Amino acid sequence: MSAPPIRHYLQFSDFDADDYAYLFARAALIKKKFKAYERHQPLVDRTMAMIFEKASTRTRVSFETGMYQLGGSVVHLTTGDSQLGRAEPIEDSAKVISRMVDLVMIRTFEQTKIDAFAAHSRVPVINGLTNEFHPCQILADLFTFIEHRGSIQGKTVAWVGDGNNMANTWLQASEILGFKVHVSTPSGYEVDQSVAGLRSGDSYRVFKDPMEACRGADLVTTDVWTSMGYEAENETRREAFADWCVDEDMMRVARPDALFMHCLPAHRGEEVTAEVIDGPQSVVWDEAENRLHAQKALMEFLLLGRLA
Ligand code: CP
Ligand code: NVA
């Protein structure tokens, strides 16, 4: 029997709606077993390399604990403590690491780096965040929305803030899963449709006023004003983004049952007020926890395919 072809998860559009339906159902099952202290170890003897070129709390903890809970183990590498930081070519690193492990998760800067790694890897590669995309976060966010409100098809998501990796990934997801995104960014920080890799661009609308983007939304979401790697722009961004703070007025014009999400880490008083992030519509802690369950489903899927 020949081995199934390798699938990578480098951006949200690597999977179709059918794959996502499977993953959300599988994540729900895996979460239920976890809550019941029921052992679920389909990945015994499997190893994942986790490569971090940027800081992380949630991504590291969720992938590391997730892999151990599935019966496998992990190797943790950073730029500073591996040859990656001493200019070993990414292609050579991919060839070597992927001969020793079953799965690789990478958090890095340019998408081209993870694409190059995947092109030379013998095993599936997962994007744990790049400058352009954060697919694992949106996987968990969508699973969280579904848990609270059911299908996201036909719903409206308001994106308030930077046209960054999170915004790009929400836009890709909207095209695949059939929902709308209302995007409001300060001028100069718009989403770049070619970077976001959209198929048609028909699933989103741009609003100058963040309040208008939130009007009637089923979900309001935002992210830090300055993403990792852009720290030199901190001061300029602080001025440009001052009006892009999700507050109670914005939540008031959204639907009465609208949820608030933030991938975290958050800066209260910048992109969101404490009243909103710590308020009754916020599901940020569920979102964070669901990184674990959704990524366990993802790792299992990449290594074993669809299970009954
Ligand atoms: N949301 C997220 O990816 O968090 P970390 O940067 O802590 O991994
Ligand atoms: N946009 C943020 C997300 C952090 C999880 C960043 O890239 O730093």
Q: Is there an atom of ligand 1 within 6 Å of 289 CB?
A: no
Q: For ligand 2, pick from 107, 136, 263 the residue to mutate: most ligand atoms within 8 Å of CB.
A: 263
Instruction: Say if ligand 1 is within 6 A of residue 57 CB.
Output: yes
**Number of other CB atoms surrounding residue 284 within 10 Å:** 21
Query: Which atom of ligand 2 has the smallest separation from the CA of 131?
Result: 7
pLDDT of residue 5: 84
Q: Closest Cα partner for 173 from 148, 132, 214, 138?
A: 138
Residue 254: the pLDDT is: 98
CA gap 11, 143 in Å, rounded: 17
Q: Do domains 12-134+290-304 and 136-287 have the same CATH topology?
A: yes
Q: Give the pLDDT of the chain (308 residues) as one tens digit per residue.
A: 566 689 999 999 999 999 999 999 999 999 999 999 999 999 999 999 999 999 999 999 999 999 999 999 999 999 999 999 999 999 999 999 999 999 999 999 999 999 999 999 999 999 999 999 999 999 999 999 999 999 999 999 999 999 999 999 999 999 999 999 999 999 999 999 999 999 999 999 999 999 999 999 999 999 999 999 999 999 999 999 999 999 999 999 999 999 999 999 999 999 999 999 999 999 999 999 999 999 999 999 999 999 97
What pLDDT shows up at residue 60?
Answer: 98
Site to probe by mutation for ligand 1, drawn from 52, 57, 65 as the one with most ligand atoms within 8 Å of Cβ, is: 57
CA-nearest residue, atom 6 of ligand 1: 56
CB atoms within 10 A of CB 68: 14
Task: Give the pLDDT confidence score for residue 112 in this predicted structure.
Answer: 98
Q: In the chain, what is the straight-line distance between the N-terminal and C-terminal CA atoms, in Å?
A: 20
The highest-level CATH class for domain 12-134+290-304 is: alpha beta
Tell me which CATH code domain 136-287 carries. Answer: 3.40.50.1370
As annotated, the active-site residues are 107, 134, 137, 223, 263, 291
- Per domain, the residue ranges of the chain are 12-134+290-304, 136-287
pLDDT at 4: 65
Q: Are the CB atoms for 11 and 106 separated by under 8 Å?
A: no
pTM score over 0.95: yes
Residue 224 Cα to ligand 1 midpoint, Å, equals 11
What SS3 class is residue 160? strand
The one-letter amino acid at 248: E
- Max alpha carbon distance in the chain (Å)? 60
Residue 130 token pair:
């790049």
